[in-house]
Amino acid sequence: MKRLIKFATAALLIGAPSTALAWGQNGHRIIGQIADERVSGRTAAEVDQILGSEDLAEASTWADEERSNPAAFWQSEAGPYHYVTVPKGKSYSEVGSPEEGDALVALERFTATVRSPNATREEKALALRFIVHIVGDIHQPLHAGDGTDRGGNDVEVRWFGENTNLHSLWDTKLIEGQNLSYSEYANWLSRQINPAETIEWWQADPLVWVSESTAIRDTIYPGSGDGTIQLGYAYQYEHLATLEERLQQGGIRLAAYLDWVFADSN
């Protein structure tokens, strides 16, 4: 019954207008699967204790699926936990978080919950699912928005003739356009990560991830021109490799972060 309710909620979300669902389901699941293959045995056991049979790919989309939950936490508090805002020319350390919080504030909060000996398993499960999701969110460049256009949601484009916006293009359309299931795509991307990249990317500092995303963010906006911005093969050729690298890095960083969380939890 739990799985049926979860899938029904996901179907409602797919059909509803959204302004902040990073990576879509496939992108988050790709990151979760890559991380699942790379966490330590200790981390895998800790995750199993909290989530049972639910792997990181399944857990990765939960924080988006719960956005329709009428509880006050989801409707009044959790929205800002999916992104950060960093104006052009600034760093996150310079601007900090807004009063309502953001993804980094939430990441710190949920990490403390997972590590707390006094938290219930239910509380740790919510926190761990959110951690998995937030790490993915931060690696989507438009979830480190500059505060002027809702992370590219206000930038209307036509993608191969279809009306959409820049945020949705990076969340879902570039990924789904490859016609692969999330597990196929994750397998392809995972096999391409070489040992040197794993070592280079094994970085558990969220400020590094945000800095990378803001730098990429400022390179992916298409030229305005006259009328609706038409995008297709040329834009895909220019940016798909960057998107795929962010998915790969997100998986590596999620493994690195979870290893750090659980290594220091006792």
The rounded average pLDDT for each run of 10 residues, N- to C-terminus, in the chain (266 residues) is 37 37 87 98 98 97 93 92 96 94 97 97 98 98 95 94 95 95 98 98 98 96 78 96 98 98 79
Our CA angle for 169, 74, 253, nearest 5°, is 55
pLDDT at 264: 66
124-160 b/e with 16+ CB inside 10 Å = b?
bbbbbbbbbbbbbbbbbbbbbbbeeebbbbebebebe
Cβ atoms of 23 and 31 within 8 Å: the answer is: yes
Q: Give the 3-state secondary structure of 133-175.
A: HHHHHHCCHHHEECCCCCCCCCCEEEECCEEEEHHHHHHHHHH
pLDDT at 24: 87
pLDDT at 223: 81
Per DSSP, 229 falls in state: E
pLDDT at 117: 95
193-224 b/e with 16+ CB inside 10 Å = b?
beeeeeeebeebebeebbbbbbebbeebebee
pLDDT at 228: 76
Structure tokens, 32: 């979760």
Annotated domain spans of the chain: 22-263
pLDDT at 182: 97
Task: Provide the CATH topology of domain 22-263.
Answer: P1 Nuclease (1.10.575)
